[in-house]
Structure 1
Amino acid sequence: MDIIYYTREEIESAREMDLLTYLRLYEPENLVHVGANVYSTREHDSLKISNGKWMWWSREFGGASALDYLIKVKGKSFPDAMAILTGRKENSPSSFSFSGSNKKPGRLLLPEKSESVREITEYLSKRGIARNIIEILIEDGLLYESLPQHSCIFVGKDGNGTPRYAAFRACSDERILGEAAGSDKSYPFRIEAPDSPVLHLFEGAIDLLSYATVRQRHSLKWNEENLLSMGGISVSKTGRKPIAIKRFLEENAHIDTIHIHFDKDAPGIRAAESLKNALGSSYQATVSPPPYGKDYNDYLQKLIKEDEEIWRSNYGYN
């Protein structure tokens, strides 16, 4: 096990981050505006934040910094809390990792739903996602816009249609993303095609939707094969299937072909090969990164740009 050392400057900097700032940056869907300058969290409604300090009234203790919160409320060790605040760890709140953990999830705390879908529609359209795909996901309850942050909420449901998982993504250029408290990663965000024996795996929801849009642009049915978001990646050290797909494969015994579309970078390639090995010989598994760019959204953007250039050329625009 590697030991990570932190400088005095890093520790002092971490202690300077107040809880409200931390929640706005890393857990926006867990933040609730109670009134005036008072905030709470969806996870613990008796935890109140005001004037740079916080108090967990039901437990009768409080603190001032995000570091205090991570240690006292989240139960993180000091090194783990520091790793989150300094970004020295892959599974910090601004990224994901899959895990074989059997830890039982708590009650899912879904972010409040906005009556509007304007901001998420504009954001996803800007990323190149087809408008009809966005509309179908909204209609099916797999996608909605949150309040008060107006983020994209990607929902995973169980066989009864009950939401069991939710991932959020800010509608901005900032990489603010994560999972709602109480999410069960064995019910990830996905698009199911019950009769298909083919499963496509992606690091995140945007990659999945980009691939679906690419299929549609190539005159293929975008939802005729199973598409599943892993909610992030990591390299498996146990050889076990990640919990994000374990249940899906158990409940869909007819799946025989799996395409792994992780990012075309060193972490993505390592995680894809690790996952392929974990799947074993029971499946025809292939590592299939995007044909261009780092991820499938890069590839989608390239296709869109090429079409625009052809249109300009045909109609005489420069």
Structure 2
Amino acid sequence: MRSNRPYVQLDPAVIEQARQMDLLTYLQHYEPSNLRRVAGNVYCTREHDSLKISNGKWYWWSRGFGGVSALDYLIKVKEYDFVEAVEILTGQTMADWKPPPAPKKDEPKVLLLPPKNKDCNRVIQYLFERGIDYHLIQECIADGTLYESADYHNAVFIGKDESGTPKYAALRSTLGSTFKQDASGSDKRYSFRLLAREPTDTVHLFEAAIDLLSYATYLKCEGKDYKSESLLSLSGVYQPRKEMKDSKIPIALTTFLSANPQIKTIVLHLDNDKVGRLCTATLKELLQKDYKIVDDPPPVGKDFNDFLLSYLGIARPKPARERSDAR
């Protein structure tokens, strides 16, 4: 399927969008009849039974090569040229594509939220199975910081600015998929948070919204008032730069600290994996001159949800069977 079309310069953002889709997700959406489960989370294609898909990667054993993304698959297996493969994955035709005008620096981002479902039943069930307190879930739904999307039934975690306007949204699948992403136009300065009822001089940091809710649930279980604490998620953390001077403090934290000059203590509840520990060490180095830094990772497991499940004696939910509409 090689084409002889003239060279087309692609927008790097479009290329990056195409690279994001893994092969399993692509087959579920675009070639469902070509997908066959082998065992557990291992799949193959009906066209090539030696092409195995597992853990976000694929390998064609009879040919001796593999890849990670659906883009790799379309180029190496289907033999589309690069531009055709990007067109298939993004739905954009590149022949007439022109770069969009660069936004003005002061032009605000427009948050594109997915439509709301008529209820939040799947989100409630998903979070409840993860050990999150039922009343806490209901409170988040009531104040508009959590809802269920109508299209793919994702959990949508909302971050609001000082005026209460939604500025950020993190999407997470409730259907057994590993899908996670920020909604288009999300402003990471305003990530998901639960703020203290009254001003406090301490802020607790988490990598993700579910870790934050897990910690709030733990406080409730211990008979403590979680509303007396300010809890802030960072919407994921980054791999620190080798040179400390080149590392940056997450913008969600700098924005919060700027708006809350009374903060004196920062408690880090980051994950117990390599990136989480490196990020903890980096933030301690960057912030310790101006704040008291407390390193308080989850006592058990990789993250605070792992710890909560262990604390409650709940087995970690097994991934549900992947569905074609899971995103």
Bin for the TM-score computed over the shorter chain: 0.5 to 0.7
CA distance in structure 2 between the partners assigned to 1:15 and 1:117 by the alignment: 28
Query: What amino acid maps onto 1:65 in structure 2?
Result: I
Q: Show CA shifts across 1:68-117 (max 9, x none).
A: 86999898xxxxxxxxxxxxxxxxxxxxxxxxxx9976210011111201
Equivalent of 2:254 in 237, 246, 251: 246
The answer to whether 1:21 aligns with 2:44 is no
The answer to whether 1:116 aligns with 2:124 is no
CA distance in structure 2 between the partners assigned to 1:305 and 1:106 by the alignment: 43
Distance of aligned partners of 1:70 and 1:257 in 2 relative to their CA distance in 1, 3 Å threshold: farther
Distance of aligned partners of 1:149 and 1:282 in 2 relative to their CA distance in 1, 3 Å threshold: same
What is the alpha-carbon root mean square deviation over aligned residues? 3.5
Is this contact kept in 1: 2:87–2:94, CA < 8 A?
A: no
| Residue in structure 1 matched with residue 208 of structure 2 by the alignment | 204
Query: What amino acid maps onto 2:125 in structure 1?
Result: E
Distance of aligned partners of 1:62 and 1:298 in 2 relative to their CA distance in 1, 3 Å threshold: closer
CA distance in structure 2 between the partners assigned to 1:140 and 1:121 by the alignment: 15
Q: Show CA shifts across 1:41-62 (max 9, x none).
A: xxxxxxxxxxx9xxxxxxxx99
Equivalent of 1:235 in 236, 239, 256: 239
- Give the TM-score normalised by structure 2: 0.64
| Residue in structure 2 matched with residue 280 of structure 1 by the alignment | 288
Give the number of aligned pairs: 234
Q: How does 1:93-112 map to 2 (within 5 A)?
A: 106-112=109-115
| Residue in structure 1 matched with residue 267 of structure 2 by the alignment | 259
CA distance in structure 1 between the partners assigned to 2:286 and 2:98 by the alignment: 31
Distance of aligned partners of 1:64 and 1:199 in 2 relative to their CA distance in 1, 3 Å threshold: same
Is this contact kept in 2: 1:105–1:182, CA < 8 A?
A: no
Q: Secondary structure at the match of 1:111?
A: coil
CA distance in structure 2 between the partners assigned to 1:239 and 1:266 by the alignment: 16
Query: What amino acid maps onto 1:167 in structure 2?
Result: A
CA distance in structure 1 between the partners assigned to 2:240 and 2:137 by the alignment: 32
Is this contact kept in 1: 2:154–2:172, CA < 8 A?
A: yes
- Give the TM-score normalised by structure 1: 0.66
CA distance in structure 2 between the partners assigned to 1:289 and 1:203 by the alignment: 11
Is this contact kept in 2: 1:105–1:183, CA < 8 A?
A: no
| Structure 2 residues not aligned, in runs of 5+ | 1-18, 31-73, 75-83, 100-104, 316-327
Equivalent of 1:215 in 214, 219, 225: 219
CA distance in structure 2 between the partners assigned to 1:297 and 1:223 by the alignment: 19
Query: What amino acid maps onto 1:264 in structure 2?
Result: N
| Residue in structure 2 matched with residue 301 of structure 1 by the alignment | 309
Q: CA deviation at 1:220?
A: 0.6
| Residue in structure 2 matched with residue 66 of structure 1 by the alignment | 89
Q: Secondary structure at the match of 1:281?
A: coil
| Structure 1 residues not aligned, in runs of 5+ | 1-13, 26-51, 53-60, 76-101, 308-318
Is this contact kept in 2: 1:15–1:67, CA < 8 A?
A: no
Is this contact kept in 1: 2:123–2:148, CA < 8 A?
A: yes
Distance of aligned partners of 1:272 and 1:115 in 2 relative to their CA distance in 1, 3 Å threshold: same
